[in-house]
Amino acid sequence: MAKKTTKKKFSFKNMFNPKPQTVSEGYAQLAGAQITSKGNYKSPKTGLNQAKDDVLMDLGVKEKDQDYYARLDDRIKRSREASKNLGKDIFGRPATDRSAAARGETAAERAARLKKEALEKRKAEGKERRKKFYKQKDERLAKLKAKLLNLA
């Protein structure tokens, strides 16, 4: 006779289910809510262990405990503040590279800029010459047409 396995199968549905699956999970959620409401909970874990456990619990690899729920509100608040400050430095100013503007352009950048300006100038001159050519062509055709109409 084959043995029955008691191992749970992996499922995304179960991973992201907000309802607790076991009594211990439900207790952890309840205790976490009570801990955060008091606001004086001190975790026995070090900072590195807290961060590691939080990541594992967020991914569903590890079962969520009281510490996770005690830190959850603070983590949410810090995450929202960080998302508001994206693209800014620690003082709230736009995070741009000011050193590049202060040092001026290099020889290669200057050469590239001059080459680009020369190309734009040649394009503009070519455009003007084309306009002039078509204008003269239209005038020649108009004169020829008038000449032909006068003969007929």
- Predicted local confidence at residue 126, as pLDDT: 96
> How far, in Å, CA of 131 to CA of 33, rounded?
77
What one-character-per-residue DSSP string does 61-106 give? SS---HHHHHHHHHHHHHHHHHHHTTTB-TTSSB---HHHHHH---
- Predicted local confidence at residue 70, as pLDDT: 81
> How far, in Å, CA of 24 to CA of 63, rounded?
9
- Predicted local confidence at residue 141, as pLDDT: 92
- Could you tell me the CA-to-CA distances from 44 to 41, 57, 67, 96 in Å, in that order? 10, 17, 9, 40
- Predicted local confidence at residue 128, as pLDDT: 96
Residues of the chain with pLDDT under 50: 37
The answer to pTM > 0.85 is no
